[in-house]
Amino acid sequence: MSLVATEASATTDSAGPLLAIQDLTVRYGLATAVRNLDLSVNQGQALALLGVNGSGKSTVARALSGLVPVAAGRIHFQGHDITGWPAHKIRRAGLIYLPEGRGIFPDLTVLENLRLSACVIKNRSERAATVDRAMELFPPLKARAKNHAALLSGGEQQMLSLARALTTSPTLIVADELSLGLAPKMVDMVFESLELLKGTGATIILIEQYAARALEFAENCALLQRGVLSWHGESRTATSEIIAGYLGGAAATGV
């Protein structure tokens, strides 16, 4: 863990967790996708949210970011009760959701993509400096600044998605299956980018279907099974028996 993240988590431990989910239930019509979920994340830490297809991972992310209504329970972020807040207000408060798929504009250049996400920064020189900083942090993007995003490799597109998040000075990033469909080398690139973001002090919820890499990255881990929290704790205590027991052997040995 970086120095920044260690200091940040020490600061907020006394003030309570950065994110606290209490008794969260989310429904799609009559179907309950997430049931009575209790989970918290401290500032500067990373949480791996794991589960097989359809276990409710993205639903949790959507509920946190205001994209689906909460049927019951409360969500506190930075001490504020954000339950029921509209998505744009949650985003502005610094909780950034990177959805499945890339969330970038393929017809715009890398630079245009970054400028667009930074456009919330009113001050012009500050805005330009933020875009420059994002490109310094991700050299492959700097080298391709004038290329259309559609021409980037899958891993570079995820890198751009993370760089876009960075320009918004996120407090909490919820990254949904960034490694999905990527070749192993590209997955390495994505995890290196996540480490960089973590080094800036950002708190990260990493949603993954495959456990091994996510557990290496995140201090803490939560397992969802059919919308219910089946296990949570420190990643180092999540033995392969636990992971395989809840997720099945294939998920436990995946990327």
Ligand X SMILES: Nc1ncnc2c1ncn2[C@@H]1O[C@H](COP(=O)(O)OP(=O)(O)OP(=O)(O)O)[C@@H](O)[C@H]1O
Task: Name, in order, each residue with C-beta under 8 angstroms of 127's C-beta and a sequence gap of 6 or more.
Answer: 115, 118, 119, 121
Check binding of 35 to ligand X (CB under 6 A): no
Q: Within 13 A of 242's CA, how many CA atoms are on the CB side?
A: 18
Q: Taking the alpha carbons of 222, 223, 228, 232 in that order, is the dihedral positive or negative? A: negative
Angle between helices 110-117 and 154-166 (to 10 degrees): 30
Answer for which of 51, 66, 103, 170 binds ligand X (CB under 6 A) is: 51
209 lines the binding site for ligand X (CB under 6 A): yes
The one of Mg ion, ligand X, none whose footprint includes residue 14, by CB under 5 to 8 A per kind, is none
- C-beta separation of 169 from 196 below 8 A: no
Establish if 42 lies at the interface with ligand X (CB under 6 A). Answer: no
Residue nearer to Mg ion on the CB measure, 134 or 247: 247
Q: Are 165 and 96 in contact (CB under 8 A)?
A: yes
Compare residues 58 and 179 and give the one whose CB is closer to Mg ion: 58
The H helix count followed by the E strand count for the chain is 11, 10
Counting contacts by CB under 6 A, is residue 206 touching ligand X? no
In angstroms, give the least distance from the CB of 246 to ligand X.
13
Q: Would you count residue 179 as binding ligand X (CB under 6 A)?
A: no
Please identify which residue in 35, 57, 198, 213 interacts with ligand X, judged by CB under 6 A. Answer: 57
- Residues 125-132: contacts with CB within 8 Å, 24+ apart? 130/167, 130/169, 131/167
* Nearest distance in Å: CB 76, ligand X: 21
32 binds ligand X (CB under 6 A): no
**Is the Cβ of residue 67 or residue 145 nearer to ligand X in the bound state?**
67
Q: Is 101 in the site for ligand X (CB under 6 A)?
A: no
Binding site for ligand X (CB under 6 A): 28, 31, 33, 51, 53-59, 209
